[in-house]
Structure 1
Amino acid sequence: MKLDSGRIKGSNDGTVRTYSGIRYAQPPVGELRWKEPERVAPWRGVADATKPGRPCLQEEGGKVTGGEDCLFLDVTTPAKPSRKRLPVMVWLHGGGFLDGSGSMYNARRMAGQGDVVVVTPNYRLGAFGYLALPGLPGSGTFGLADQLEALKWVQRNAAAFGGDPGNVTLIGQSAGGISTCALLTSPAARGLIDKAVMQSGTCTLNWPAGTYIPVPDMPPFTPFPSLKTSRDIGLAAAKQLGCAAGKELACLRAKPVAELMKVNGGFGNNLAHGTPLLPLDPAQALRTGAFLRVPVISGAAKSEGNGFVAGAAQAGIPVTTENYPTLMKNAFGEQAGKVLREYPLTRFSSPGQAWATVSSDRAWACPTLEAGEAMAARTTVYAYEFADANAPNLFGTPSDFPPGAQHASDLPYLFDLDGERWDGLTPEQWRLAEHMIGYWTSFAHAGKPQAAGAPAWRAFTPSGQTVLSLKPASQGGIGPVDLSDEHRCAFWSGLDG
């Protein structure tokens, strides 16, 4: 296989061809730390592309993993060459902008069943991807710049894998979905994206205090701070590490990774706007129509908040009868009484379930619906909700807190995570997975999601807000859902208004 930068050798298992650990940009180390990515330099000989590249720096179980030299991607294609150019799907992983990697998501089912080329890049995370400082070009958007560099790499190299550089679908989940939406608002993305899929992440997401994680000191936030706010975060981190005022950049560039990781957690959800790559707040850009008019699939899981609330309980921060009113007051101030009446504890099986529902409705579902409405006014949108109540319990939610269709529980339906199929899926869940892959990949082919044996998926319009609920046959099967009614969006709209 010959790329624009050199030759590579991958593997073929008879179903798909896989090329792993392909370097798509120069290592962002030394003087390239906190600089926009540079085009990969050519190499001699044949590079091994049978093993994943190193993930970007992150913490896992309290230990630092990955490294700074991490700008690699994997490519998965059908094993049998096609006579025609195939659509390319570029997957941006989630992880709160703090963890994850492209190689975690084995795309063999998506590529093989859907007859598409799937590209899964890494991008810089945490402080290494989103640091901002006064006078530092690229502040707050280095991770986004990496994603753009991966898209440029696709333009140059898609044809080598049998892909069509003129038919690229950008797809992401959580932080990857947020990044996908942000890129639709970036002038730098013009000509690089032909369609987009956003899963549990869009431009309008925002979390009132405590609705992301139910802790008293969790402030309200959006994933898109202003450049000034991002610079303030960067200056505070530099001060914490002992850097003198006015010499922060040189000081931080000289710091070893172990020192920088001490402040890394402060850079989650810190993608700055008011920058060359994101001139506008992406939420404002979506509402005013300043985004790429490409076809879109957009949606979320039905019970997004469940996993976050259950995880906090496991960490010793449960929602209780006693602190439920306090959480309401912190999140909604003078309007807390109205929300308490709309979400009384008597209506739920536990205080944790009540707060998780508040989070799912206010912080996830209704902002996602708002984004769909804004985009549908100007382009073609297909809206969905992943609603399998028995979806895989990826994070080990306790049995006394039903996980439901929580955040990220849709991922095993599309990918083999860390290379493994999820053993717990039932035959009807595997059927749902086939339908979802069918919808996603047919959309990549021709801009209209359809799957053999599955219901038709009508476009979402401002006047006909069709949202497709994705669930197994035993739970009613795939069909329309009134998302606004299900998540009390009229109540939240009136409250916020």
Structure 2
Amino acid sequence: MSLAFAALALTAVTPAAATSPVVQIDAGTIQGETGPDDRAVFRGIPFAAPPVGDLRWRAPQPVKHWQGVRQTMKSAPACLQIDYGWNHDAAVNQSEDCLYLDVATPSLHPAKSMPVMVWIHGGGNRAGGGPGPGDSPIVARGVVLVSVQYRLSALGFLSHAALGAHSGNYGLMDQQAGLRWVQANIARFGGDPKNVTIFGESAGAQDVGLQLLSPGAKGLFHKAIEESGTAGFGLPPRSLKESEALGEIIATAAGAPTHATAAQLRALPAKALIEASEHADVPGLDDDSFIWLQAVVDGVVLKETPAASLARGVGSDIPLILGNNRLELGLYGTPQRAIEQGFGANAQKAMAAYGLAPGGTPPADLDLRLANDLTFRCPSLHVAAERVRTGGATWHYQFDIDGPGDKPVTHGSEIRFVLADDGAAPDAVAPLAAYWTNFAKTGDPNGPGLPAWPGFGAQATSLELTAAGARRVNGLSAQTCALRAAP
């Protein structure tokens, strides 16, 4: 993931000049800068009031209007997080005041309004940031690109009884506030507010999936793309009560008294809360780094479990692209433990399917394959199948192209083919950016010169993208994933 965004950073923008673009938005006037391809770029635009002090753990509030011209030539600090290495740039420039977005547009005054693509970054809902995509070559394909930040870790996803309803989903509410800003302002950047696509990778993809199911996001976007992540992320959801119990543990570890009031919680040092969440032992979750990837059913932002919403066809009116990379992340714990947890009553059948039964021969990449099935491949295929059953237009892919220096395909490998041009001629190898922008424009990824990509449909058709080209696969991992119960 860090390599992909490093590639984005190679594209510089020219210094502000007398011709720097100026736009009047609902909160005031902003001045951006002109890129080398004549795009207009605006960075660090506030879309909500700073969520600090009494506004910590509240729904995002409106921005105060300003007088004069606000300079928007520098991206805002990322939201508070731990430095894990891959997110170092975000971690060294972070702040609790972080609800800002970046916008890049090919033209402020196009002959026809352009489709809008809103990027939601990944990072486990505990790391990452918005800067970078504004410099992406994808903008030159005729789309307005928005990158939105949202509160992370305990500040964005902690629940506590003292905080009331919807606690635990502040990060999702931030994303919705960013989408409301798009609806109110994007026409002034040449974008069409009636043609908005949200897309994201990893936790960003999960959040895209949850926005498809959240009543608060209804009408704020019209298409969606999930790269290596789904609503629920293959994990069992948490009830609000379960999430509040975890929040009590974290708050106490951060220095709050037992059964603290909301005021006492808001007085805690923000970094203490982030640190406490890093060391929390999450009940029922072996890998505690997934702490903020369990969907919280709070009854407000999420009315019911993702599985229940998908079964009812919620979000099926929105066209969706989703998929996974052939290999993603490593397995936490032993294969036997993962199979027992992930396949439940079908664990013995799954043991045989992976070659772990007596007399069987497990594959050399067993850990990676199993981790991918449980967390990425089977959940994405389940979502695709549920959407097709309820009438949702859906395209599924599997990405299988090694990275630079023959680095094996892994989590985030597809990002550089979507957002960054690092000299690898992405379209010639895997035309993801072309598929993505076609989809943003028309609701269908297909277009002239591209390998045909059928919808998922009754044949469960996926498009597999390899270095040798694209090929259609029916029933990808069907027998194995049939053993996996929906969380």
Using structure 1 for the length normalisation, give the TM-score: 0.83
Q: Tell me the C-alpha RMSD between the 2 structures.
A: 2.5
Asked if residue 387 in structure 1 is aligned to residue 400 in structure 2, the reply is yes
Q: Which of the numbers 40, 46, 51 marks the counterpart of 1:17?
A: 40
- Structure 1 match to 2:57: 34
Asked if residue 2 in structure 1 is aligned to residue 16 in structure 2, the reply is no
Asked if the contact 1:186–1:278 (Cα under 8 Å) also holds between the matched residues in 2, the reply is yes
- Structure 2 match to 1:407: 411
Take 2:226 and 2:211, find their aligned partners in 1: how far apart are those partners? 11
Asked if residue 294 in structure 1 is aligned to residue 318 in structure 2, the reply is yes
Asked if the contact 1:106–1:415 (Cα under 8 Å) also holds between the matched residues in 2, the reply is no
Asked if residue 275 in structure 1 is aligned to residue 299 in structure 2, the reply is yes
- Structure 2 match to 1:213: none
Q: Which of the numbers 425, 429, 434 marks the counterpart of 1:432?
A: 429
Asked if residue 375 in structure 1 is aligned to residue 387 in structure 2, the reply is yes
Take 1:124 and 1:98, find their aligned partners in 2: how far apart are those partners? 8
Q: Which of the numbers 104, 111, 136 marks the counterpart of 2:163?
A: 136
Asked if residue 258 in structure 1 is aligned to residue 247 in structure 2, the reply is no
Asked if residue 245 in structure 1 is aligned to residue 258 in structure 2, the reply is yes
Match runs of 1:280-429 below 5 Å? 280-291=304-315, 293-305=317-329, 308-309=330-331, 325=336, 328=339, 336-344=347-355, 347=361, 350=364, 353-377=365-389, 378-388=391-401, 390-392=402-404, 404-416=408-420, 421-422=421-422, 425=424, 427=425, 429=426
- Structure 2 match to 1:154: 182
Deviation at residue 496 of structure 1 after TM alignment: 4.3
CA distance 1:491–1:348, change in 2 (3 Å): closer
Asked if residue 479 in structure 1 is aligned to residue 475 in structure 2, the reply is no
Query: Per-residue CA shift, 1:460-484, capped at 9, x if unaligned?
Result: 21x2322111223xx2x11212353
Query: Per-residue CA shift, 1:18-63, capped at 9, x if unaligned?
Result: 1111111100000001110011111111111111111000111488
Asked if the contact 1:380–1:459 (Cα under 8 Å) also holds between the matched residues in 2, the reply is yes
CA distance 1:80–1:331, change in 2 (3 Å): closer
Asked if residue 172 in structure 1 is aligned to residue 200 in structure 2, the reply is yes
Take 1:36 and 1:97, find their aligned partners in 2: how far apart are those partners? 17
- Structure 2 match to 1:467: 462
Take 1:363 and 1:324, find their aligned partners in 2: how far apart are those partners? 13
Deviation at residue 268 of structure 1 after TM alignment: 2.2
Take 1:172 and 1:330, find their aligned partners in 2: how far apart are those partners? 27
CA distance 1:227–1:104, change in 2 (3 Å): farther
- Structure 2 match to 1:218: none
- Structure 2 match to 1:316: none
Secondary structure at 1:34's aligned position in 2?
coil
Take 1:162 and 1:95, find their aligned partners in 2: how far apart are those partners? 30
- Structure 2 match to 1:491: 480
Secondary structure at 1:285's aligned position in 2?
helix
Asked if the contact 2:162–2:260 (Cα under 8 Å) also holds between the matched residues in 1, the reply is no
Amino acid at match of 2:25: L
Asked if the contact 2:108–2:190 (Cα under 8 Å) also holds between the matched residues in 1, the reply is no
Q: Which of the numbers 441, 445, 449 marks the counterpart of 1:453?
A: 449
Deviation at residue 72 of structure 1 after TM alignment: 0.7
Secondary structure at 2:60's aligned position in 1?
coil
Deviation at residue 231 of structure 1 after TM alignment: 0.5
Deviation at residue 71 of structure 1 after TM alignment: 0.4
Alignment identity in percent? Answer: 33
Asked if the contact 1:438–1:452 (Cα under 8 Å) also holds between the matched residues in 2, the reply is no
Take 2:392 and 2:84, find their aligned partners in 1: how far apart are those partners? 42
Amino acid at match of 2:325: A
Q: Unaligned 5+ residue runs, structure 1?
A: 207-220, 313-318, 394-401
Using structure 2 for the length normalisation, give the TM-score: 0.84
Take 1:83 and 1:492, find their aligned partners in 2: how far apart are those partners? 48
Secondary structure at 1:75's aligned position in 2?
strand
Deviation at residue 406 of structure 1 after TM alignment: 1.7
